Chain A
Amino acid sequence: MTILAFVLLLQLQVPDAQQFVGPPKGQPLTGDALFQRTNEVGALLRCPVCQGMSVADSPAEMAVNMKNQVRELLARGYTEEQILEYFEKSYGQFVLLKPKSPVVWLLPVLALVLGLIVVFVKLKKLQQAPDPPTANRQPPTADDPYLARVRDLVSGEKS
């Protein structure tokens, strides 16, 4: 029975990372280094069945399988770049928690710079604008009939 299981195991073949990213380019990891790097690389991959959780954080079976795959690839000497590329080739950029496209990082900075330019231009125009016409008005005199009427109304309310 054991021999049969062994023969069957030899016949089984799962898709290998080599089909996607070629042979390993790094050093095989073991022990604590393997544990630590598995968590670090897993934290860069999105769990496809979770809401915004990384493979390192999610307890979902899919994420656990992906984390095991990361561990196995690191143990075989695959680099972080190769592992991320492997998952990206299967799932697309969606699986990467840090997008590769620089546009995603540049857009907020671009929006901020544009906003600052608009504020600067607007402020400069306000400074250059002529003083409002109220500046040319004469201050009201003590015998201004309008002020006298206001004083009457105010004193009337008090009494």
Chain B
Amino acid sequence: MNRTVLLVGVIIAAVLVGVLFMGLGKNPAEIRSPLIGKAAPTFALRQVGTTNTIDISQFRGKPLVVNFWATWCGPCWEEHPVLVANARMLQPNVQFLGVVFQDQEDKILSFLAQRGSGYPTVVDEAGKTAIAYGVGGVPETYFIDADGVIVAKYNGPMNGDIIREHLQKVMRQ
């Protein structure tokens, strides 16, 4: 009986350690979104500071990086120059698009005027686009292939290496 109890205990402990090890080995920023592998939800939103509408479908045919952000988000400040530099470097082969939500127009314009902009930014007025994309916090970035399918999602501020690594996944599609 004692040996049986010991064996069962060892098996349970081994399973728990295995589950913990698998969990600890994962990058918490790599979110497994249920939208990965599915067509990106379509939207047409107003470009900040203008009355122009930008429709996501107009970028079909080349990889698209959709970055959800806000001026009140500290990590977005950190990420912004990296996004701008990569957008400038990779254009016209890769398109970047910023989607701002839960923010104010004047603050967005002031932010972009001070820190530069290398790609269009649209305003998600009631946060409906963010909800459809399953955005929890900002920054969150979606990598969409030329056919409009979501290939990867990254949660948190990105550096150049992360952007390139995810774009390679998109290119492989």
Contacts and interface: CB of A to CB of B under 8 A. Distances in A.
Interface string A63-88: 00110110000000000000000011
B53 interface: yes
A100 B43 CA distance: 30
Interface residues of B, number: 28
A8 B53 contact: yes
Interface string B54-77: 010000000000000000000000
Interface string B131-146: 1111111000000000
Interface stretch (B44-52, B78-86, B158-166): B44-52
DSSP majority for the A interface?
A: helix
A87 B35 CA distance: 11
A11 B122 CA distance: 13
Interface string A42-59: 000000110000000000
Interface bracket on A: 20 to 34
B34 interface: yes
B34 A91 contact: yes
B43 A91 contact: no
B128 interface: yes
Nearest to A125: B1
B41 interface: yes
A12 B46 contact: yes
Please provide the 8 A-B residue pairs with the shortest distance between their CB atoms, ordered closest to farther.
A15-B132, A15-B41, A48-B136, A65-B127, A90-B134, A14-B128, A13-B44, A11-B53
Interface of B: 1, 32-35, 41-46, 51, 53, 55, 102, 124, 126-137
